[in-house]
């Protein structure tokens, strides 16, 4: 299906016969809200004919599937990385030098999923997070120092991306000088997941991932020889009950998940939070009047619900499943649609209204639910609470910068985030 404008695509999705929906169309990945409302109401179990993926869109169904890993497995042989199955000679050459993408936490089922997670759970536990608070606070202030005098910035580039990147790099144990490379590699992983790359894009992403692997294999060797107090050391030297330590491919898989899951998602929610203030002056006024910890926490949860950056996650059926009268055959690839679940009108009244005073705003599943519930949820929440407190303390009157258009989103099947957000503001 080709459309003459993004508006056309979105309008068509709201009006066309349901079987004509093209849910992976880039314009609908950018702006899925109208389509999602239709899917929830008319086709809560919908098979996309183009990709063959089953879209599960209602809150109660997404929660049920996330809580039933025996039926909905997270082990995904090919769908997470199309490069693996490529017959392109250049791609095969890159893949031949790369470590295989072995399933670990996010992409693994119990009991192995639990085993991998055990190695890093402590690093994201309450004691470590408390110790990290001064660093998050200082980094937020430092980033604001960098753009406050200009009175405007691209918030995504100036704050949204660098804050979580610096925090996660400090935890993994990589030096500040390597931040640009970590960012480039994160983008390579995201591109690989987007399901939107052409052949050259896929090759570039595969090369980026190979560079990431070479860099981290070296760092891992260093930590085996001389462990430090960081996630790299924990992962490479992990051994519970005398089990053999993880091999390089397992460690790389864990590190890539922490890097990718930790960066883009938090960056997306931080940035969308600022846009939601601009776009909802009544809510902004409430927070201007009271930005104490309870109100900031409500704001953060409502931003997470509306933004839901981890929008869809893969599952594979291990048996035939019948839902709403539709049978999904065994071995089908499905999407657990966390973003659609968070906008389900059956749970959230007037779901696209941004309302920090909602009674049930904590009922969102932006971090998933069940055994795969986000490893970094407490960290992301801590980062967002501290960052927005510092922002309210230092900046006011956020608005779109002169000449800037309202933000648009990147077309990505799994992650929903803005391409940029050009804002003006004043010093408080
Ligand atoms: C706003 C920020 C974040 C959002 C919205 C988010 C969202 C999610 C969601 C929805 C899942 C469940 C996936 C599923 O059920 O298949 C998940 C899992 C995961 N997240 Fe996050 N995440 C965020 C931040 C982070 C951070 C900061 C880290 C860094 C450690 C992280 C690491 C992970 C990992 C490793 C998993 C897999 C856990 C497992 O399968 O056992 N995430 N995240």
Interval 275-299: pLDDT, tens: 999 999 999 999 999 999 999 999 9
Res. 83: pLDDT tops 70? no
Ligand 1 touching residue 277 (CB < 6 A): no
pLDDT at 77: 61
> 49 phi and psi, to 5 degrees?
-60, -30
Mutate to test the pocket of ligand 1, among 375, 379, 385, 414 (most ligand atoms within 8 A of CB): 375
Which residue has a Cα nearest atom 40 of ligand 1?
A: 106
pLDDT at 194: 75
Please report how the helices 248-279 and 281-289 are oriented relative to each other, as an axis angle in degrees rounded to 10.
100
Burial class (CB in 10 A: 0-12, 13-18, 19+), 293: exposed
| C-alpha span between 241 and 300 (Å, rounded) | 39
String of b and e for 397-407 (b: at least 16 CB within 10 Å)? ebebeeeeeeb
144 neighbors 238 (Cβ within 8 angstroms): no
Q: What is the mean pLDDT of residues 400-418?
A: 95
Q: Is 154 helix (H, G, I), strand (E, B) or coil?
A: strand
| C-alpha span between 57 and 39 (Å, rounded) | 7
Mutate to test the pocket of ligand 1, among 173, 300, 376 (most ligand atoms within 8 A of CB): 376
Q: What is the mean pLDDT of residues 85-105?
A: 89
Res. 261: pLDDT tops 90? no
Q: What is the mean pLDDT of residues 340-352?
A: 98
pLDDT at 1: 54
Confidence of residue 2 (pLDDT cuts 50, 70, 90): low
Percent helix, strand, coil in the chain, to 5, is 55, 10, 35
Ligand 1 touching residue 136 (CB < 6 A): no
42 neighbors 64 (Cβ within 8 angstroms): no
Task: Give the DSSP letter string of 229-292.
Answer: SSHHHHHHT--STTPPPP-HHHHHHHHHHHHHHHHHHHHHHHHHHHHHHHH-HHHHHHHHH--S
Gap between the terminal Cα atoms of the chain: 49
Ligand 1 touching residue 162 (CB < 6 A): no
Q: Is the dihedral of CA 399, 421, 276, 284 positive or negative?
A: negative
Q: pLDDT tens digit string along 202-218?
A: 999 999 999 999 999 99
How far does the centroid of ligand 1 lie from the alpha carbon of residue 296, in Å? 21
Q: Which carries the bigger pLDDT value, residue 239 or residue 226?
A: 226
How far does the centroid of ligand 1 lie from the alpha carbon of residue 373, in Å? 7
Res. 129: pLDDT tops 60? yes
How far does the centroid of ligand 1 lie from the alpha carbon of residue 240, in Å? 23
Least confident window among 35-49, 61-75, 189-203, 359-373: 189-203
Confidence of residue 78 (pLDDT cuts 50, 70, 90): low
Q: What is the mean pLDDT of residues 388-404?
A: 98
How far does the centroid of ligand 1 lie from the alpha carbon of residue 189, in Å? 15
Which residue has a Cα nearest atom 37 of ligand 1?
A: 106
How much of the chain exceeds pLDDT 70, in percent?
96
Question: Could you check whether the bond before residue 111 is cis, i.e. omega within 30 degrees of 0?
Answer: yes
Which residue has a Cα nearest atom 27 of ligand 1?
A: 262
| C-alpha span between 12 and 10 (Å, rounded) | 5
Which residue has a Cα nearest atom 20 of ligand 1?
A: 374
Q: What is the mean pLDDT of residues 337-353?
A: 98
Mutate to test the pocket of ligand 1, among 59, 366, 377 (most ligand atoms within 8 A of CB): 377
pLDDT at 146: 98
How far does the centroid of ligand 1 lie from the alpha carbon of residue 106, in Å? 8
* Length of the chain measured in residues: 428
Confidence of residue 242 (pLDDT cuts 50, 70, 90): confident
Which residue has a Cα nearest atom 1 of ligand 1?
A: 266
Instruction: Give the CA-trace dihedral at 115, 268, 352, 374, to 10 degrees.
Output: 10
Ligand 1 touching residue 312 (CB < 6 A): no
Ligand 1 touching residue 80 (CB < 6 A): no
Ligand 1 touching residue 374 (CB < 6 A): yes
How far does the centroid of ligand 1 lie from the alpha carbon of residue 380, in Å? 9
Res. 153: pLDDT tops 60? yes
Res. 243: pLDDT tops 90? no
Res. 82: pLDDT tops 60? no
Please state, in angstroms and as integers, the Cα–Cα distance from residue 257 to each residue in 116, 117, 150, 198, 373, following that order: 12, 11, 35, 23, 14
Tokens of 324: 């709403």
How far does the centroid of ligand 1 lie from the alpha carbon of residue 367, in Å? 6
pLDDT at 245: 85
How much of the chain exceeds pLDDT 90, in percent?
84
Domains belonging to the chain, first-starting first, are 6-427 (1.10.630.10)
310 neighbors 373 (Cβ within 8 angstroms): no
351 neighbors 358 (Cβ within 8 angstroms): no
String of b and e for 84-117 (b: at least 16 CB within 10 Å)? eebeeeebeebbeebbebbbbbbbbbeeebebbb
Task: Give the DSSP letter string of 315-347.
Answer: EEESS-EEETTEEEPTT-EEEE-HHHHHT-TTT
Which residue has a Cα nearest atom 9 of ligand 1?
A: 367
pTM of the model: 0.95
**Mean of per-residue pLDDT scores for the chain:** 93
Q: What is the mean pLDDT of residues 413-420?
A: 95
Does residue 308 come out as left (phi exceeding 0), alpha (psi in the -120 to 50 range) or beta? left
Res. 315: pLDDT tops 60? yes
How far does the centroid of ligand 1 lie from the alpha carbon of residue 415, in Å? 11
Confidence of residue 325 (pLDDT cuts 50, 70, 90): very high
Mutate to test the pocket of ligand 1, among 374, 388, 415 (most ligand atoms within 8 A of CB): 374
pLDDT at 79: 46
Residues 6+ apart with CB under 8 A from 220: 232, 235, 236, 248, 251
């Amino acid at each position: 299906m080709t459309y003459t404008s993004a508006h056309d695509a979105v309008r068509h999705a709201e009006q066309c016969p349901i079987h004509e929906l093209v849910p992976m169309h880039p314009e609908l990945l950018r702006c899925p809200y109208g389509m999602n409302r239709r899917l929830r109401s008319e086709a809560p179990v919908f098979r996309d004919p183009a990709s063959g993926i089953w879209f599960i869109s209602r809150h109660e169904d997404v929660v049920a599937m996330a809580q039933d890993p025996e039926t909905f497995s997270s082990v995904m042989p090919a769908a997470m990385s199309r490069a693996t199955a490529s017959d392109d000679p250049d791609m095969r050459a890159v893949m031949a030098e790369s470590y295989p993408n072995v399933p670990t936490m996010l992409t693994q089922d119990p009991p192995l999923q639990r085993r991998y997670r055990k190695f890093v759970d402590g690093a994201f536990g309450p004691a470590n997070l408390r110790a990290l608070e001064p660093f998050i606070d200082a980094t937020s202030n430092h980033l604001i120092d960098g753009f406050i005098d200009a009175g405007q910035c691209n918030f995504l580039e100036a704050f949204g991306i660098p804050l979580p990147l610096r925090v996660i790099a400090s935890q993994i144990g990589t030096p500040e000088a390597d931040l640009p490379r970590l960012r480039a590699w994160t983008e390579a992983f995201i591109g690989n997941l987007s399901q939107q790359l052409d052949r050259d894009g896929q090759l570039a992403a595969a090369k980026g991932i190979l560079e990431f692997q070479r860099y981290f294999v070296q760092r891992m060797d260093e930590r085996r020889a001389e462990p430090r107090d960081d996630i790299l050391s924990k992962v490479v030297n992990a051994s519970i009950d005398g089990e053999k330590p993880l091999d390089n491919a397992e460690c790389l898989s864990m590190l890539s998940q922490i890097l990718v899951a930790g960066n883009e998602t938090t960056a997306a929610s931080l940035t969308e939070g600022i846009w939601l203030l601009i776009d909802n002056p009544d809510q902004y006024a409430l927070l201007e009047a009271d930005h104490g910890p309870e109100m900031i926490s409500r704001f953060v949860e409502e931003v997470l619900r509306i933004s839901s950056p981890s929008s869809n996650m893969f599952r594979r059926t291990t048996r035939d499943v019948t839902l709403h009268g539709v049978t999904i055959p065994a071995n089908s690839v499905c999407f657990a649609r966390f973003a659609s679940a968070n906008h389900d009108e059956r749970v959230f009244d007037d779901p696209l209204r941004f309302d920090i005073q909602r009674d049930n705003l904590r009922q969102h599943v932006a971090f998933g639910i069940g055994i795969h519930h986000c490893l970094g949820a407490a960290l992301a929440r801590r980062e967002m609470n501290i960052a927005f407190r510092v922002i309210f303390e230092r900046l006011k009157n956020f608005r779109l910068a002169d000449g800037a258009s309202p933000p648009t989103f990147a077309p990505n099947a799994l992650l929903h985030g803005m391409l940029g957000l050009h804002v003006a503001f004043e010093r408080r």
